[in-house]
């Protein structure tokens, strides 16, 4: 019994078993990876074909041979179309899989199966079948008919198209997918090449060797699944879109494993160079971002969720992340997509606009509305021992007219710089309007407020503004109101301080007047003991 036919039978049997195992593995992963369901169908069709051919070689009568020929054609015509559909799915054309188009792809295979089962009526598939006995085995020799040629042309056409698309996919896909694509490519090239050799009539005893070669392809598929996740492929259409998207895009499977990302994501997340495809998304980020809330958000299955992330790199970067579920045609969750938008420029612009809403653009201190808002809050929290200072630069219009408005602007900044040297963080300093400024001094007595105002006034008087070729002296007049003597209402405090300021101007400028509730007092340093600030 040690014959070549027996060797064929043994190898085919093992090949059929491997096809069944592959079909079971694909079925177990059908909801996890793209193309697993089609791979399951292809492996199942392959198993039917291989076992049918094996039992054909073991048959002892012409009737048994004809039965097993019909049996193997339940699967054989569908192998190449299913292979093509797998490749179409991987290369991004699965969105075009409508029921009508799938029906058209499988129409000729269905007709082929029917033609084989009804061949004894029309002889369109096989014109005749002759039997030959070799080493105790009954072998059939077939004379092909017209429909057999249609079947062969369609099978070769599907296989060649699939091979062509895989070669294209190999050229443009990420290097992480090279092994998977090469395995699929070899798995399709070997059977179609062997089938071509068989049709040339140069195989031993004219036995179909394709099931034997499929032992190699099935073993290769099984090794690829166990070694580097053969099914872990993303559609190339997704990648074509990714290449030109300004946003970073991460594609995860249902287990939060990264299965694809685009160049924009790679530039945003340098860690992808070391931990990329095949790693859990929270493992990728946990090494570079310590924000617990963000890691928890990555692990959350919530659909259409968003997260605003501030990422400290060489400088702060701001990102807006949106996560959404990916569904298959049955509405089942297949994975998750995370879109990362770099909003740093918008965020900085927003912060600048917000800053301008309460900061004076020329002097970089609070504007009038912000000063009033913050001072009001201070008075509402604790109005005791709070002083309001108003001061006005003396003869500011004359400075503008004599030296120009740019020198006037410099004078304003000069005054602000001196004031900031005498103020604390809790003090509120704002530009009240034009050349007029306002200061709120919480937790200061009237004496302390007057002393601070005097230090500012003296600094103005003795610190000349130095400009190109010009030396300008700047002085100011002050008016002060205090909650110990006046109302705790901000409007009335500002009114009293303004009246005191008016008194300073009317009495000669470059001086300080304070409201005492009953009138206005000229402050001179020797009248009150120095107060610390």
Q: Using one digit for the tens of pLDDT, what is the confidence trace for 214-268?
A: 888 888 878 877 765 655 555 444 555 556 677 888 888 888 888 878 778 888 8
Interatomic CA distance for residues 166 and 160, integer angstroms:
10
Asked whether 54 and 9 are in contact (CB, 8 A), the reply is yes
Pairing of strands 476-482, 512-515: parallel
Lowest mean pLDDT among 22-36, 62-76, 501-515: 22-36
Q: What is the reported pLDDT for 241?
A: 55
What number is the average pLDDT over the span 514-533?
Answer: 70
236-349 architecture in CATH? 2-Layer Sandwich (3.30)
Report the range of poorest mean pLDDT among 131-140, 457-466, 498-507: 131-140
pLDDT band at residue 527 under the 50/70/90 scheme: very low
Residue 20 burial (10 A CB sphere; 0-12, 13-18, 19+): middle
Tell me the two tokens of residue 61: 């009568």
What is the share, in percent, of the chain residues with pLDDT greater than 70?
91
Whose structure tokens read 């300008």? 472
User: Does residue 509 carry a pLDDT above 50?
Assistant: yes
The position carrying tokens 């074909």 is 49
Q: How confident is the model at residue 532 (pLDDT cuts 50, 70, 90)?
A: very low
Does the CA dihedral 347-349-352-357 come out positive or negative? negative
Question: Confidence class of residue 531 from pLDDT cuts 50, 70 and 90?
Answer: very low
- Shortest CA distance to 180 belongs to which of 354, 28, 133, 188? 188
> What is the reported pLDDT for 500?
95
Tell me the fold of 359-522.
Alpha-Beta Plaits (3.30.70)
Query: Of all helices (H) and strands (E), which one includes residue 176?
Result: none
pLDDT score, position 33: 63
- d(CA 197, CA 208) in angstroms, rounded, equals 9
Q: In whole angstroms, give the CA distance from residue 44 to residue 75.
A: 8
Contacts of 371 (CB under 8 A, 6+ apart): 428, 429, 430, 431, 432, 438, 440
Which residue in this structure is represented by tokens 């036919």? 5
Residue 60, class by beta-carbon neighbours within 10 Å (0-12 exposed, 13-18 middle, 19+ buried)? exposed
pTM of the model: 0.51
Q: Which long-range contacts (CB under 8 A, 24 or more apart) does 343-348 make?
A: 343/308, 343/318, 343/319, 344/316, 344/317, 344/318, 344/319, 346/318, 347/318, 348/318
DSSP character for 383? Answer: -
What are the structure tokens assigned to 19, written together? 């096809």
CATH number for the domain formed by residue range(s) 4-232: 1.20.1070.10
Domain ranges of the chain: 4-232, 236-349, 359-522
Q: What is the rounded CA–CA span in Å between residue 447 and residue 449?
A: 5
Same CATH topology for 4-232 and 359-522? no
Q: What is the pLDDT of residues 34-62, one digit of tens each?
A: 667 888 899 999 999 999 999 988 888 99
């Amino acid at each position: 019994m040690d014959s070549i036919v027996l060797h064929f039978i043994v190898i085919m049997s093992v090949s059929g078993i491997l096809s069944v195992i592959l079909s079971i593995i694909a079925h177990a992963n059908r909801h996890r990876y793209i193309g697993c369901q089609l791979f399951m169908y292809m492996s199942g069709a392959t198993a039917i074909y291989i076992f049918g051919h094996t039992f054909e070689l073991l048959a002892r009568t012409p009737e048994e041979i004809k039965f097993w020929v019909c049996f193997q054609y339940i699967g054989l015509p569908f192998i190449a179309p299913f292979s093509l559909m797998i490749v179409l799915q991987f290369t991004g054309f699965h969105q075009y899989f409508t029921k009508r188009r799938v029906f058209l792809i499988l129409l000729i295979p269905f007709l082929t199966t029917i033609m084989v089962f009804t061949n004894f009526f029309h002889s369109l598939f096989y014109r005749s079948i002759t039997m030959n006995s070799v080493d105790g085995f009954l072998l059939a020799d077939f004379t092909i008919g017209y429909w057999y040629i249609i079947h062969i042309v369609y099978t070769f056409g599907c296989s060649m198209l699939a091979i062509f698309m895989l070669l294209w996919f190999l050229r443009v896909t990420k290097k992480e997918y090279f092994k998977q694509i090469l395995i699929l490519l070899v798995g399709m090239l070997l059977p179609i090449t062997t089938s071509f050799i068989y049709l040339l009539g140069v195989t031993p005893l004219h036995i179909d060797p394709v099931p034997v070669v499929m032992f190699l392809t099935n073993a290769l598929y099984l090794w690829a699944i166990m070694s580097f996740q053969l099914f872990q492929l993303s559609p190339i259409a997704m990648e074509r879109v990714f290449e030109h998207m300004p946003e970073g895009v991460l594609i995860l499977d249902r287990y939060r494993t990264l299965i694809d990302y685009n160049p924009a994501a790679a530039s945003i997340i340098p860690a992808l160079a070391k931990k990329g495809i095949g790693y859990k998304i929270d493992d990728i980020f946990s090494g570079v971002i310590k924000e617990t809330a963000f890691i928890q958000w990555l692990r959350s299955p919530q659909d259409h969720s968003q997260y605003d992330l501030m990422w400290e790199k060489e400088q702060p970067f701001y990102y807006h992340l949106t996560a959404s579920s990916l569904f298959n045609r049955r509405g089942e969750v297949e994975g998750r997509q995370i879109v990362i938008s770099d909003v740093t420029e918008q965020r900085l612009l927003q912060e600048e606009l917000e800053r301008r809403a309460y900061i004076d653009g020329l002097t970089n201190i609070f504007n009038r509305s912000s000063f009033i808002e913050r001072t009001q809050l201070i008075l509402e929290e604790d109005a005791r021992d709070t002083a309001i200072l108003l001061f006005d630069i003396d003869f500011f219009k004359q400075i503008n007219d004599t030296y120009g408005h740019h020198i006037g602007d410099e004078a304003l900044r000069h005054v602000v710089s001196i004031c900031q040297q005498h103020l604390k963080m809790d003090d509120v300093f704002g530009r009240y309007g034009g050349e007029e400024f306002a200061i709120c001094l919480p937790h200061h007595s009237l004496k302390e407020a007057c002393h601070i105002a005097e230090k500012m006034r003296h600094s103005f008087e003795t610190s000349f503004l130095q400009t190109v070729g010009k030396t300008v002296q700047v002085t100011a007049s002050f008016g002060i109101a205090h909650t110990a003597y006046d109302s705790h209402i901000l409007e009335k405090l500002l009114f009293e301080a303004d009246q005191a300021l008016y008194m300073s101007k009317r009495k000669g400028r470059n001086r300080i007047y304070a409201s005492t509730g009953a009138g206005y007092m000229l402050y001179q340093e020797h009248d009150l003991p120095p107060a610390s600030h």
